[in-house]
Structure 1
Amino acid sequence: MSSEAKSLAKGIQDVSFIEKIKPHAELVAAALSGIFIAVGWLFNKYDYGADSIIAYLLAFVIGGFAKAKEGIEETFENKELNVEMLMIFAAVGSAIIGYWTEGAVLIFIFAVSGALETYTMNKSHKEISSLMELQPEEALLIQDGIEKRISVAMLQVGDEILVKPGERVPSDGIIIKGQSNIDEAAITGESMPVAKGDQDEVFAGTVNMTGLITVQVSKTNEDTLFQKIIQLVQSAQSEKSPSQLFIERFEGTYVKAVLAVVLLMFFIPHFLLGWNWHESFYRAMILLVVASPCALVASIMPATLSAISNGAKHGILVKGGVHLENLSHLEAIAFDKTGTLTKGKPEVTEVIVRDGVEKEHLIWITASIENHSNHPLAQAIVKHAKRTIKQELIHPDSLEDVPGWGVRAEIRGEQWKIGKADFVGKEASEAFADVLAKEIASQGNTLVYVQRNESLVAMLALRDVVRDETKVAIDDLKKKGIYTVMLTGDSEKTARAIAAESHVDQYFAECLPEEKVEQLRKLKEKFKTVAMVGDGINDAPALALANVGIAMGEGTDVALETADVVLMKNDLPRIAEAIRLSERMNKIIKQNVVFSITVIMLLIASNFFRILDLPYGVIGHEGSTILVILNSLRLLKTRRQ
């Protein structure tokens, strides 16, 4: 190898090493500072005074550079003093009166707490970094029957890509060939794979578990749901909560007050209490250290970031600390019905056939006819047939769609009519299963009648069914004392049945979008903090009006733009989970604030009564900062119920 090549290789290795060590720079600086403090102490012990001071100075510069730079830049930018400046003043003041060791230890512990705080921030961003690494850089493009590896950034809408078992899906798209189980944990937080086949949607970053699938790209790389999630959480982590904003506003005033009291302490104890000048200056330096609100300032932001990251990991995306704070204060929640409390699609709930008619054969014939219609009720009947019988559907000999009424068809010489009561004969339909039909209809079902050769032979009942988890989720919220309301555009009869089945406290039927907004406004007058839960599209006005708008995402990027909180999987119990996360966050923040204020008051009092030395003041102050950060890190730990 030539000398130039060796030099280039060495340069690349050096750059790689620097990149690896960069995230740990503050910790490395703190460690070096500690080493120089130890060296300075040894020099001082063996009477190498000048060498000792040089070692301490190096500890000051190396350990304090990052925080000093940050403090000075923020002071110039905001025209406001901050806690970093207080620490610099205290360390320099300690050195001036000859307490080199104490000043250096102050810088060292301050550097350690700063490194720990940076670690907390990096830890909270780790979920996003790991997400970003999940999306493949290349895709297997199929063009004119030829497979070609290209960069994901080059994919266009409409391109067809091949995704093999074990590979990650490179882009959002629709499966046009094949079927597989897809692990969507990166998007929804759900660990169980989802079975997907023809015309099902798949998302970038998810894992193709079993089968070979061909996907038609539906979005460019920058518009994928995956990228939008990353952008949303990054934005949320940069948005400050009301508590954090208050602490930051309070910090500037508090720092000025501390400096004013420190200045007074230079003189008042000397003249009123008889302290000598050295004692007065020494106590003023200790006050400068212990009165600094470092722990108070660090009480909120690490906790908020940790909670947001924890939620994102489990498919609960919160758009900022303010919304996460509000979740624990909820007094009422309004739910849209369709797609939120219910599955959003009709299902067959009852099939009643005339005596002498074979039920399976009837369902098979009905599904074969309805298979040629795109109507939601028709598709529900077909889905029911495919799930309950194993017979291939057939094509009718003739078929006529009668819009608004139903469909008539001929199969093997028999004439069939499927549709509304009036379409098959009102009198005959009223007589068919008379009492039972009224009871089924009162439960919110839509009735579809089947006629064969002018004789009514069956009645099918269909309705949008309540999700399996809805009752559990609503009951969980009610246990927390939260009032639950359902808002729906459905009829009074359907709304009453769904409300009873889902266990909500109150319901409002036949609501247009503007009426939902009006009902939500009335709820806000009655309750202090109200949330709205919807699908993020037609419920947008109500979501915007609520104190907290919660969208049931189910992988839709529309939901990301309309609500304050997005549940990436339509899983209602995650609302209670998000509330518990909010309660944990607020509890930990309160613990941090109370603890930090208590420590500051105790240290100030101990200093005034001259029972606190500078080293212990440094340890007490910086130790409390480290403890509140460690306490905040607990929010990264999952506690799901």
Structure 2
Amino acid sequence: MTHSNHNDHDHHDHDHAGHDHEHNHGKMPIVLFFIGLAAFIVALLIPDSIWKNILFIVTMIGTGYHIIIEGFGDTIRNTRKNRKFSPNIHILMTLAAIGACFIGDFFEGALLIVIFAAAHFLEDYAEGRSKREITNLMKMNPTEARLLKEDGSYESVEVSTLKIGDRLQVLNGDQIPTDGVILTGYTSIDESAINGESIPREKTIGDDVFGSTINGTGSFTMEVTKDTQDTLFAKILELVNQSQSNLSKTASKIKQLEPKYVTAVLILVPIVIVASPFLFGWTWYESFYRGMVFLTVASPCALAASAVPATLSAISNLAKHGVLFKGGSYLSNLNDIKAVAFDKTGTLTQGKPTVTDFFFEESVSINDSERYLDIIVAMEKTANHPLAAAILNKFTPTEIIEVDVENIIGRGLVTIIDGVEYQIGKPESFTNVGASIAEHNETYAHEGKTVVYFSRDNHVVGMIAMMDVPNENAKGVIKYLQSRGIHTVMITGDSEVTGQAVGRQLGINQVIGNVLPENKASIIQDLQSKYGVVAMLGDGVNDAPALVTADIGIAMGDGTDIAIDVADAVLMQNDLTKFSYAHKVSHKLNNIVWQNIIFSMVVVVMLVIMNFMGNMDLPLGVLVHEGSTIVVLFNGLRLLLPMKN
């Protein structure tokens, strides 16, 4: 992954109003705004005179300083850059204020600039709020670490100087400096900055720890395993920066439309002024005044603010819930999905076998069955494979038995206790199998379970069935997607029988088994041709080609940086409910953006019609027009609030 400082990039691409909001306004425009506002208040209090008009002009220059600079400056700069006339909204307001002064209405011109500038600052604040919600992670980047020196002492060093292999001490309450592995100690760590999980995780020797997470009450030493720029937190910051520069389709279209819209208004204004005396019988003064009102109320301020603040708020909301999107386009596309493909292992299931059933022949007494389970546990303790771990997690022995176990190829585990041979192995390793055992084996196999037999002197007396059981949240998520009319598919490399068994438990629409990793991408293409927009959820490693092929690739991250590299979005924990939450946020985002677009255009049309009917003066037009922008902004900021389940 290429690491770069996205903060240095040209952010013009994600300007929400085509205004260059990434201008560093600094304190000067705010100071000038209040000077201008003071001049405006004084002007209102003194009687009509030349000084009153001079104060109104001071008001326009002071409060509108950044409006004028951005209006003319950005228009000239963008025109040169695009090699065609590219005006922005600010120039409309500047020209309207100049026009009002030209006909002697200094009060209206000053009021227009005061209200527009105030709304502009509020707009900056609103967008800044949603950006701050996203980038508050930046403040958590640790700067210092306690480095263990060769003589056993500790030295405080800059995190940026750490190298792989360095040993660090982390005290209780410290911020963990970088990614690494615990060498000594035991603690609990708040990893909410990484995965959105509020409950601290217990950690001890051999466990991974991540930079920028918060250590609890314990202290430990750790070894650095990654360079600073390769840590999981660094990748998350990079992802966050990407998300702010990647616009949704709607926001991109609005941004492209703005200069064309503004140009059309600039062309129409002189036509309105010249034609109105002949069409409506207005005086030249009234015609010019109506032209200035039209210039103001037809400005697409609210339209320009319809999409980006809302999108940033939605991305922020999801980031706090452990769902990271690489951009607004992926989040808005999520609302359009018609099918979702899931990898089975580790996505729909827990990713490890669990004992689901065990059975002994009817002739085996309760005491004998307990004895057999003790023997099975003693034998499996010597093995090192997932099935053994599942058995040891399931059964607690009543008596600890010491045994010598031999792992024989073709037979499995074999031991001799008091002259009796015991064996654990696959069903095909045994020949002396009773009817009840065979019947249960057939039932378990149909349910997609893996079975091992247990024999005494070559006669099978018992069996244990295991399977990779479904993720506890998977069924509810599948049900939610189907309630939205979304087709659900499970793709697995396991046998069709195993896949269908899990699919039945989850109620999934379609199961495709015996799939090689390299064939998953072609299955995604087939789903796209049949259903349209397709999302793929996988673990981000062997599912990489399918994640890239899907319209939206979503990695079940559980804190892995590989997942962040390959996917369009990452669930920082293997919690499928985060996916349904993201879909709900995407749906709400789509609704809010269209609410904003329709509302903003209705207000513009209404104001334009009232202006031509002679029922709209400039102060009222400015108030309603800028009020609609503020309504749109706060409607978008609603997406910062957590969604109800």
Q: TM-score under structure 1 normalisation?
A: 0.89
Query: Could you tell me whether the CA contact under 8 Å between 2:303 and 2:596 is conserved in 1?
Result: yes
Query: Could you tell me whether the CA contact under 8 Å between 1:26 and 1:115 is conserved in 2?
Result: no
Q: Which residue of 1 aligns with 2:124?
A: 118
Query: Could you tell me whether the CA contact under 8 Å between 2:370 and 2:398 is conserved in 1?
Result: no
Q: 2:336 aligns with which of 329, 338, 341?
A: 329
Q: Which residue of 2 aligns with 1:77?
A: 77
Given the superposition, is the C-alpha separation of residues 569 and 66 from structure 1 closer, same or farther in structure 2, using an over 3 Å criterion? same
Query: RMSD in angstroms over aligned alpha carbons?
Result: 2.5
Query: Could you tell me whether the CA contact under 8 Å between 1:128 and 1:230 is conserved in 2?
Result: no
Could you report, residue by residue, the CA deviation over 1:293-339 in whole angstroms, capped at 9, with x for unpaired residues? 11111111111111111111111111111111111122211111011
Instruction: Please give the secondary structure, in 2, of the residue aligned with 1:427.
Output: coil
Pairing 1:610–2:614 present: yes
Given the superposition, is the C-alpha separation of residues 623 and 486 from structure 1 closer, same or farther in structure 2, using an over 3 Å criterion? same
Distance 2:302 2:100 in 1: 21
Pairing 1:101–2:107 present: yes
Q: Which residue of 1 aligns with 2:39?
A: 36
Given the superposition, is the C-alpha separation of residues 58 and 416 from structure 1 closer, same or farther in structure 2, using an over 3 Å criterion? farther
Distance 1:527 1:579 in 2: 18
Distance 1:85 1:437 in 2: 79
Q: Which residue of 1 aligns with 2:16?
A: none
Could you report, residue by residue, the CA deviation over 1:471-526 in whole angstroms, capped at 9, with x for unpaired residues? 11111111122111111111011011000011101111111234322322222122
Distance 1:234 1:189 in 2: 18
Q: CA deviation at 1:571?
A: 0.9
Distance 2:65 2:538 in 1: 50
Given the superposition, is the C-alpha separation of residues 27 and 599 from structure 1 closer, same or farther in structure 2, using an over 3 Å criterion? farther
Q: Which residue of 2 aligns with 1:9?
A: none
Distance 1:584 1:515 in 2: 35
Number of aligned residue pairs: give it: 612
Pairing 1:598–2:602 present: yes
Q: CA deviation at 1:572?
A: 0.8
Q: CA deviation at 1:210?
A: 3.7
Matches within 5 A, 1:469-480: 469-480=473-484
Distance 2:357 2:271 in 1: 84
Distance 2:433 2:524 in 1: 41
Query: Could you tell me whether the CA contact under 8 Å between 1:233 and 1:319 is conserved in 2?
Result: yes
Higher mean C-alpha deviation, range 333-342 or range 166-175? 166-175
Distance 2:420 2:158 in 1: 57
Q: Which residue of 1 aligns with 2:380?
A: 370
Higher mean C-alpha deviation, range 174-183 or range 521-530? 174-183
Q: 2:306 aligns with which of 289, 299, 305?
A: 299
Pairing 1:60–2:37 present: no
Distance 2:100 2:289 in 1: 7
Pairing 1:585–2:589 present: yes
Q: Which residue of 2 aligns with 1:139?
A: 145
Matches within 5 A, 1:346-385: 346-353=353-360, 355-356=364-365, 358-359=368-369, 362-385=372-395
Distance 1:166 1:128 in 2: 24
Q: Which residue of 2 aligns with 1:168?
A: 175
Q: CA deviation at 1:544?
A: 1.6
Q: Which amino acid counterpart does residue 421 of structure 1 have in structure 2?
A: P
Pairing 1:202–2:202 present: no
Q: CA deviation at 1:448?
A: 1.9
Distance 1:22 1:267 in 2: 38
Q: CA deviation at 1:367?
A: 4.0
Higher mean C-alpha deviation, range 613-622 or range 520-529? 520-529
Distance 1:349 1:440 in 2: 10
Given the superposition, is the C-alpha separation of residues 34 and 239 from structure 1 closer, same or farther in structure 2, using an over 3 Å criterion? same
Consecutive unaligned residues of structure 1, counting only runs of 5 or more, are 1-20
Matches within 5 A, 1:378-527: 378-385=388-395, 388=396, 396-397=403-404, 399-402=405-408, 406-409=412-415, 416-423=422-429, 426-429=430-433, 433-451=437-455, 454=458, 456-527=460-531
Q: CA deviation at 1:415?
A: 5.1
Query: Could you tell me whether the CA contact under 8 Å between 1:429 and 1:449 is conserved in 2?
Result: no
Q: CA deviation at 1:412?
A: 8.2
Query: Could you tell me whether the CA contact under 8 Å between 1:26 and 1:114 is conserved in 2?
Result: no
Pairing 1:558–2:562 present: yes
Distance 1:410 1:178 in 2: 41
Consecutive unaligned residues of structure 2, counting only runs of 5 or more, are 1-23, 80-85
Could you report, residue by residue, the CA deviation over 1:502-554 in whole angstroms, capped at 9, with x for unpaired residues? 11011111112343223222221221222111111111222122221111111
Q: CA deviation at 1:580?
A: 0.8
Instruction: Please give the secondary structure, in 1, of the residue aligned with 2:163.
Output: coil
Q: Which residue of 2 aligns with 1:630?
A: 634
Q: CA deviation at 1:271?
A: 3.1
Distance 2:410 2:26 in 1: 65
Q: CA deviation at 1:456?
A: 4.0
Higher mean C-alpha deviation, range 255-264 or range 128-137? 128-137
Distance 1:23 1:131 in 2: 23
Could you report, residue by residue, the CA deviation over 1:155-207 in whole angstroms, capped at 9, with x for unpaired residues? 22223333333333222222333333322211111222233333222222222
Matches within 5 A, 1:183-332: 183-332=190-339
Q: Which amino acid counterpart does residue 323 of structure 2 have in structure 1?
A: I
Query: Could you tell me whether the CA contact under 8 Å between 1:368 and 1:382 is conserved in 2?
Result: no
Higher mean C-alpha deviation, range 119-128 or range 218-227? 119-128
Distance 2:584 2:26 in 1: 32
Distance 1:546 1:115 in 2: 40
Query: Could you tell me whether the CA contact under 8 Å between 2:357 and 2:466 is conserved in 1?
Result: yes
Query: Could you tell me whether the CA contact under 8 Å between 1:420 and 1:448 is conserved in 2?
Result: yes
Could you report, residue by residue, the CA deviation over 1:556-598 in whole angstroms, capped at 9, with x for unpaired residues? 1111121212111111111111111011111111111111101
